[in-house]
Amino acid sequence: MSTPAVPSVLFVCVHNAGRSQMAAAFLTHLAAGRVQARSAGSVPADRVNPAVVEAMREVGIDLSAETPKVLTTEAVQSSDVVITMGCGDACPVFPGKRYLDWQLADPAGQGIEAVRPIRDAIQLRVRVLIDELTSTEPRTAEHTHSPR
């Protein structure tokens, strides 16, 4: 029996300094090797937003050593799922890839109080994504676990 390939997810936002960094960090932390996470920005910032670093530190994830990365065609091509977060048309589209657009507030220029709810919304979405990508059960519209 062969081992199935680990699915890969690319999170993309404009500056790769907030939302996409948080999403990739949550996916890496919560998936524990079952899903590969990357992030990039169409116009990367010089550093990760300090309020984002602090908000993630509050939940036990250290982003202080992370740096924003530029979005490349290769990164998109080598990903199974591409999740955009307000990058508009900057993300190249390739056939056969799954694309999702997560509408989330931009933490740029925001303080920690504004970043926390964005962080929490990202964490919830990442948990759902992990369940979708790692589930071995067939997907049906009316799937339940109750006995018949």
Is-catalytic flag, 70?
Answer: no
Q: Which of 9, 13, 71, 104 is catalytic?
A: 13
CA distance 15 to 41: 5
Is-catalytic flag, 91?
Answer: yes
Is-catalytic flag, 35?
Answer: no
Q: Which of 91, 104, 122, 130 is catalytic?
A: 91
Q: Which of 25, 48, 87, 130 is catalytic?
A: 87
Q: Which residues pair with 81 in a beta bridge?
A: 9, 98
**How would you list the strands of the sheet with 8-13, edge to edge?**
36-41, 8-13, 81-84, 98-101
Q: How far is CA 7 from CA 20, 36, 107, 129, 136, in A?
A: 17, 6, 28, 11, 13
Residues designated as active site? 13, 87, 91
